[in-house]
């Protein structure tokens, strides 16, 4: 525990605020991206990096909807790069900070190039799916940094330290994060393949089997797996770790809202607001799942470091 407390005291200054700001801005970017896709303005700017060959787009609704996404992208990119630079300059001894921060910068570079390619190719579903996957990986890296840098992580660490079965909890949280990422990818595949309304009924499909119904049902099966696993983790956190109760409430709230939005997408026949919120809450859920996993895994890593014999020269 000594390593944990010492590490925490060294994390003052700009890093926690910048990590939180970058995390929030990236979720906002995903929200704006959902608006762009749901409104059909993915090619509002048909060229890249300019828009209609201009730095400032013309007075066209589609152009400005797409351009707003590029503006928020720029704001997020600046923060991610600053976070990576700060982590490398001042926190290289904390691998749970500088490694995910550096990886976020590398993924961001790939994401920028992929975003430009996505526009130049006319928004094909293949690059769109990869674009979503990379965006969520960047968000996961930022969530890992936030888990290590933010003071609120202390409560999660205390709970993990007291939890007798923290090895099992670490495995469950890792599985939850992995399944949540697969669920995100399957949701993007549903949208980009045109399978959003392939199954008109809930919870059963209500349609003849086809490739699109298979894609839709895969997404539903993954959603069920995530919900069941998350429910088990939430119950255990509530019963055995008082420090985790607020975080458990957050997870439960996100889970219920997301399930409601998923059902609403089908029953209401894909209104704009449910589509955008479904993606945004999915991003928030993914970030929360990564924070839970990173906190427990980091605590176990620090505990092992404390247990190792120290050599003095």
Are residues 219 and 79 part of one domain?
no
Contact status, residue 18 vs residue 79, Cβ threshold 8 Å: yes
Q: What secondary structure, in 3-state letters, does 17-33 show? A: HHHHHHHHHHHHHHHHH
Q: 80-84, 208-212, 234-238, 290-294: which range is least confident on average?
A: 234-238
Q: For residue 158, what are the domain limits?
A: 152-308
Residue 313's pLDDT band (cuts 50, 70, 90)? very low
Q: 49-63, 71-85, 126-140, 238-252: which range is least confident on average?
A: 238-252
Q: What's the average model confidence in pLDDT over 202-213?
A: 92
* Paired tokens of 194: 């045109």
- CA distances 230 to 233, 234, 289, 298, 307, Å, are 5, 6, 9, 20, 31
Residue 259 lies in a domain: yes
Residue 51: φ, ψ to 5°: -125, 110
Q: What's the average model confidence in pLDDT over 265-282?
A: 95
Q: What's the average model confidence in pLDDT over 85-111?
A: 93
If one counts the domains in the chain, the total is 2
Contact status, residue 213 vs residue 163, Cβ threshold 8 Å: no
Are residues 218 and 147 part of one domain?
no
Q: What's the average model confidence in pLDDT over 61-72?
A: 93
Identify the CATH number of the domain in which residue 259 sits.
1.20.120
Question: Using one digit for the tens of pLDDT, what is the confidence trace for 23-53?
Answer: 999 999 999 999 998 898 888 998 888 899 9
* Paired tokens of 118: 């996505």
Residue 203's pLDDT band (cuts 50, 70, 90)? confident
Question: Using one digit for the tens of pLDDT, what is the confidence trace for 210-230?
Answer: 999 999 999 999 999 999 999
DSSP-based three-state secondary structure for 124 = coil
Among the three residues 94, 123, 151, which one is the final residue of a domain in this structure?
Answer: 151
* Paired tokens of 209: 């089997």
Residue 123's pLDDT band (cuts 50, 70, 90)? confident
Are residues 112 and 195 part of one domain?
no
Say which residues have a Cβ less than 8 Å from residue 14's Cβ, sequence separation at least 6. Answer: 86
Are residues 249 and 104 part of one domain?
no
* Paired tokens of 166: 């923290």
> What is the C-alpha separation between 293 and 288, in angstroms, rounded?
9
Contact status, residue 32 vs residue 69, Cβ threshold 8 Å: yes
> Does the pLDDT of residue 19 top 90, yes or no?
yes
- pTM comes to 0.89
Among the three residues 151, 177, 203, which one is the final residue of a domain in this structure?
Answer: 151
Taking all residues of the chain, what is their mean pLDDT, rounded to a whole number? 87
Nearest of 153, 220, 129, 146 to residue 183 by alpha carbon: 220
DSSP-based three-state secondary structure for 217 = helix
Are residues 171 and 84 part of one domain?
no
Give the pLDDT confidence score for residue 279 in this predicted structure.
95
Residue 183 lies in a domain: yes
Residue 3's pLDDT band (cuts 50, 70, 90)? very low
DSSP label at residue 51:
B
SS3 content of the chain, % helix, strand, coil (to 5): 80, 0, 20
Higher per-residue pLDDT: 195 or 90: 195
Are residues 303 and 178 part of one domain?
yes
Residue 249 lies in a domain: yes
Are residues 28 and 120 part of one domain?
yes
Among the three residues 151, 186, 215, which one is the final residue of a domain in this structure?
Answer: 151
> What is the C-alpha separation between 117 and 129, in angstroms, rounded?
13
Q: 65-79, 143-157, 179-193, 253-267: which range is least confident on average?
A: 143-157
Give the pLDDT confidence score for residue 165 in this predicted structure.
45
Are residues 182 and 137 part of one domain?
no
Are residues 235 and 88 part of one domain?
no
- CA distances 31 to 25, 26, 48, 121, 187, Å, are 10, 9, 21, 23, 15
Are residues 29 and 129 part of one domain?
yes
């Amino acid at each position: 525990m000594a390593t944990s407390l010492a590490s925490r005291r060294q994390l003052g200054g700009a890093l926690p605020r910048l990590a939180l700001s970058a995390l929030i801005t990236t979720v906002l970017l995903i929200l704006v991206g959902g608006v762009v896709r749901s409104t059909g303005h993915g090619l509002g700017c048909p060229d890249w990096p300019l828009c209609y060959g201009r730095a400032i787009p013309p007075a066209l609704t589609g152009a400005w909807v797409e351009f707003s996404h590029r503006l928020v992208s720029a704001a997020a990119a600046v923060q991610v790069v600053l976070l990576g630079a700060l982590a490398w300059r001042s926190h290289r001894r904390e691998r749970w900070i500088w490694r995910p921060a550096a990886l976020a910068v590398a993924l961001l570079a790939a994401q920028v190039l992929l975003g430009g390619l996505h526009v130049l190719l006319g928004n094909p579903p293949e690059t769109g799916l990869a674009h979503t996957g990379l965006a969520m990986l960047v968000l996961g890296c930022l969530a890992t940094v936030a888990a290590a840098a933010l003071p609120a992580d202390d409560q999660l660490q205390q709970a993990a330290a007291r939890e007798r079965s923290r090895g099992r909890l670490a495995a469950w949280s890792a599985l939850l994060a992995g399944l949540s990422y697969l669920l995100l990818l399957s949701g993007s595949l549903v949208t980009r393949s045109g399978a959003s309304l392939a199954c008109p009924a809930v919870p059963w499909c209500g349609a003849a089997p086809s490739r699109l119904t298979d894609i839709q049902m895969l997404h539903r099966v993954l959603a069920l797996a995530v919900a069941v696993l998350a429910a088990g983790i939430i119950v255990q956190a509530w019963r055995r770790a008082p420090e985790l109760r607020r975080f458990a409430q957050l997870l439960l709230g996100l889970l219920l809202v997301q399930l409601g939005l998923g059902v609403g997408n089908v029953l209401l026949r894909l209104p704009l607001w449910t589509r955008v919120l479904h993606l945004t809450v999915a991003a928030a859920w993914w970030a929360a799942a990564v924070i839970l996993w990173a906190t427990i895994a980091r605590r176990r890593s620090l505990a092992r470091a404390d247990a190792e014999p120290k050599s003095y020269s």
